[in-house]
A and B are shown apart, each in its own frame.
Chain A
Amino acid sequence: MKIIRMLGRSIRDALKSVCRNFSLSLASISCITITLIIVALSILASFNVQNFTKEIESDLTIIAFMDNDATEEDISTMKKNIKQIENIDSYIYEDKEKEKENMAETSDVFATVTKGWSKEENPLRDKFEIKVKNIQKIGQTAKQIQKLDKVAVVRYGAGLVERLVKAFASIQKIAYGVVLALILVTVFLIINTIKLTIFSRKREISIMRLVGASNFSIKTPFIIEGMILGLIGSIIPVILTTFGYLAFYDHFNGYLFTKIIQLISPEPFIYQASGIIVIIGIVVGMIGSASAVRKYLKV
């Protein structure tokens, strides 16, 4: 009960002082807004990139064809050697007889043609279908496989995909850097906003202390003020995220350029993204005000 009364008081005080120091509050709020919009864009982009890299990754395999004269012994050495390569997740082995059957099943023509092949004459090759753990290293891994004994040809998915993923990864890094810098500026602005509030209420605070207000109840209004700044600052980014992503998704019918690059469907994704944005706003506001309180309010 007592805590609720104190919180009520704190929220009232916080709202009052947001209005009282309106211009500085507005500066903080705008800064939070800009930061969060960029955070929102990075969230939307990076979640989508993550989503379709995962999809592509599960599709993408390295196929290694063995030499035509590879013996069963060669195959089992190959199986052993493949396990030594670190980036390899799993593989499926298919010998050329199986391949022949598969081929025969696809059409009558193939069925007739392949029937003529004896085991020795079979021109097809034993093959390994290999999945990797880290798609960014797929080229390197393919080269390692190529070097193994009796491997004739190695094929893997278009180099385009690999480059795309790499590009996204570096864009993500730049975005993180920008967001971090913006968060620092925001925290700095919030510290100054709260500092001003603390100074404008110096007399009140000293009286509160004299009559026995606890440190907690002295600090709380300022912390809440910071959180309110963060919350207000996240309104516009949340609206932009929600409606922006919906419009974007509809405009592109759910995929980007090619059907391989599927967008995450808006529900519940936009709610999760909005949640993250609001939380970041509030936490940044709280960090700013908490450090202002620690610095300028010696309680």
Chain B
Amino acid sequence: MDLIRLKNVYKRYKNGVTAIYNMTLSIKKGSFVFVIGGSGSGKSTLIKMLYREEKPTSGQIVVGGVDVARLRNKKVYKLRRKLGIVFQDYRLLPKLTVYENVAFAMEVIGATKNETRVKTLKAIELVGLKNKVHNYPDQLSGGEQQRVAIARAIVNNPKLLLCDEPTGNLDPDMSMEIMKVLEEINQKRGTTILMVTHDKDIVNKMKKQVVTLKDGRLVNNQEKGTYDDEDN
């Protein structure tokens, strides 16, 4: 079963830059996929189209049964509830504690207090921050902040987790911690993970599916792939 299907997708920005050329790609449910490629190769654009921040110029994108390209603005929230998103810059709310930041994602979709509490604590435990529940973001290390962001992304138990360079701001040790957490989420919850990265070590160590982009084109899609310099 494919969770994500792209068919002949083109993306041309308003300024005339074409970021994605004729991309056809399927991602299986439960897989862990790295998206690699040089700067400006269209990785972020691909991710943005998957959560409908950007619309494809042409072609078809289906995510979890939702026809994303044709999704009306008003209905975008339905797609967003099926997936979690993590960015390089964490995007936490500085005035809220760890617990409140994670619970926020449940509250704004109208979950009950009880459901919010149970799921929030579970997610925080999964990312290993049980003892920092009442800390504020500025009292945490970068790696810990990113784990809060991951907890927030998975608190609603989404089928898909999109990560755009989640380790981009972290040192190698912290990066490996994050990878452990992501691997665990993939294994324990069966969450499909699509992760954009520049980190060769991570890609080579994890031995997962690797999708390589170059100048907006899909040039390689390999099970247990590696990060080769000639790809870029």
Contacts and interface: CB of A to CB of B under 8 A. Distances in A.
Interface in A251-268: none
Contacts of A210: 51, 80, 85, 91
Contact of A211 (B73, B74, B112, B156): B156
Given A204-B93, A207-B91, A213 B112 contact: no
Interface string B51-78: 1000000000000000000000110111
Interface string B97-139: 0000000110111101000000000000000000000000000
Interface string A187-225: 000000000000000011011111111110100000000
B80 A212 contact: yes
A2 B110 contact: yes
B104 A299 contact: no
Contact of B109 (A203, A212, A215): A212
B11 interface: no
Give 8 nearest A-B pairs by CB, closest first: A212-B80, A212-B81, A213-B108, A211-B105, A2-B110, A214-B77, A212-B77, A208-B108
B116 to A, nearest CB: 10
Interface of A: 1-3, 5-6, 9, 203-204, 206-215, 217, 299
Contact of A209 (B80, B93, B112): B80
Contacts, number: 55
Interface of B: 51, 73-74, 76-81, 84-85, 91, 93, 104-105, 107-110, 112, 152-153, 156
Nearest to B105: A211
A1 B109 CA distance: 13
Contacts of B108: 9, 208, 211-213, 217
Contact of A213 (B77, B85, B153): B77
A208 B85 CA distance: 12
